Amino acid sequence: MKGLKGHVYMELLVHIYQSIDFLQNLVIPDEQILEKQIEVKFKKPNMSKLLLLDLDETLVHCVKKPNPLRPPMIKLDITTPNGNVINDVGFNIRPKCHELLVAANRLYEVCVFTASTP
């Protein structure tokens, strides 16, 4: 392993060992985390693979300050957990998002979630 290629392989090995060490030293989650667990019920027959995707900043991007020259692709009214409604929230869909979801749907049970708050 010489040169840049060898350096890349060495970096990869270091990351793998660091990841294994991290996983081996994980602490069992406390009750507060365990209470928030959810069970995903597969809807596709004979499917055992799950692809979990974060909505905000992964599949779509919230437009906080719209540019009049490039308006958002989608505008939605968003209801917050306390019942307030935010009107005309703009979103842009990430490039190739649709293609990704169509392809992934053939091989996986696809779940989309968000931890984002307006």
Model pTM score: 0.58
In a domain, 19, yes or no: yes
Which domain covers residue 24, as residue numbers? 1-30
- Is 9 contained in some domain? yes
Question: 51 lies in a domain?
Answer: no
Asked if residue 80 lies in contact with residue 114, where contact means CB atoms within 8 angstroms, the answer is no
Positive or negative: CA dihedral 62, 68, 69, 73: positive
Residue-wise pLDDT for 13-69, tens only, equals: 889 989 898 888 888 777 877 887 888 888 888 888 999 999 988 899 888 887 888
pLDDT of residue 2: 59
> Cβ contacts of residue 90 below 8 Å, gap of 6+?
62, 63, 66, 71, 72, 73, 74, 75
Query: Confidence class of residue 82 from pLDDT cuts 50, 70 and 90?
Result: confident
CB 78 within 8 A of CB 89: yes
